[in-house]
Amino acid sequence: MPSHSLPAAPPDPVTAADVDRAVLLCADLIRSAPADAPWDSPAGALTWDCRETVEHLADDLFAYAAQLGLRRGPADREVPFHYGSRRPGGPANTVFADAGAGAEGLAQVVESCGAMLAAMVRTTPPEVRGHHVFGASDPEGFAAMGVVETLVHSHDVAQGLGLVWTPPGGLCARVLRRLFPDVTADGDPWPVLLWATGRGGLPGVPHRTAWRWYGEPRA
């Protein structure tokens, strides 16, 4: 897989404030949708619709907070909350929004779950490790994962609803450096993050059909 290079810079940590910022921007995007927005339309190239994608995002933020909450259990498995799908083909979530609460309800669920993750990132000792399918990670790693999930799924929803979504470049650059050490590129880090997560192209670079991040603690 080809590599691109981000401009050389100190590895600024991804923080709870970054989680807060990404989540609040996402909530603003949700609230900006028109009253007749087609929430049952596909979210970008995903098989989920826009509502399911927001719920999946909220569930990710909740689950990452939960993994950081475990202090004495093994970091080789997920905390055993009961997971079940709302309907066939939908994401297997613990967290759902009340169907009657509309876009405001979706925004509130994302805000609340994001606040849980930000609080856990702020208060969890840096030596704590939580389980993730790609390998155990630390509070900063889970913060970065939460930010990436928020940025790219907001992009998916914006595509499905016909909204504009361009997150802050500095935020994109920090999570790229933290989670995608195999990806380097000059220029705007937002298109690079989309490419790294299989959502966009870069000039002269093949589209990614498979991707992962690396949440292991920094050396």
DSSP string for 65-108: HHHHT-SSS-TTS------EESSTTS-EES----GGGHHHHHHH
Residue 105 belongs to some domain of the structure: yes
pLDDT attached to residue 16: 98
pLDDT attached to residue 50: 97
- For the chain, which residues score pLDDT lower than 70? 1-11, 73-74, 83, 185
Residue 180 belongs to some domain of the structure: yes
Of 109, 148, 170, residue with least CA distance to 19: 148
Of 65, 60, 30, residue with least CA distance to 161: 30
Residue 10 belongs to some domain of the structure: no
CA distances from residue 70 to 128, 138, 203 in whole angstroms, order as listed: 9, 12, 43
List pLDDT tens digits, range 79-124. Answer: 888 767 777 778 888 888 888 889 999 999 999 999 999 999 999 9
Residue 206 belongs to some domain of the structure: no
Residue 6 belongs to some domain of the structure: no
Residue 211 belongs to some domain of the structure: no
Residue 58 belongs to some domain of the structure: yes
Encoding tokens for residue 1? Answer: 């897989």
**pTM for the full model?**
0.91
Residue 179 belongs to some domain of the structure: yes
Residue 169 belongs to domain spanning:
16-196
> In the chain, how many domains are there?
1
CATH of the domain at 37: 1.20.120.450
pLDDT attached to residue 10: 52
